[in-house]
Amino acid sequence: MRPVSCSSCGTCVLVKKNSLAHTLVQWTTDTEQCVELSRHAEPGLFPTCTRLRDSIENSVRLGAVPVPDL
């Protein structure tokens, strides 16, 4: 797993790509540290932070998070 920091709030998570479509994210802090997640937390919905997702995708493009078979 590779550390990735959100370019917006600086929250750091550990990331592993099993394929282009599958991303494993492990939080190293409470998710309440993420501004976007804490704002949109609704019961029954799967929380997503678009800014963190963009940071992870950028790390993949830069080669900081490897994707098997690429």
Residue 9 clears pLDDT 70, i.e. is over it = yes
Number of domain units in the chain: 1
CA angle 45, 8, 55 (to 5 degrees): 75
Give the structural domain span for 3.
1-30+47-70
Q: Is residue 55 part of a domain?
A: yes
Say which residue the tokens 């492990």 belong to.
26
- What pLDDT was estimated at residue 61? 96
| pLDDT average, residue stretch 41-69 | 87
Q: Using CA atoms, how far apart are residues 55 and 42, in angstroms rounded to an integer?
A: 23
Does residue 37 sit within a domain?
Answer: no
Q: What is the pLDDT of residue 18?
A: 95
Mean pLDDT in residue range 25-45: 76
3-state helix, strand, coil in the chain (%, to 5): 30, 20, 45
pLDDT of 31 higher than 80: no
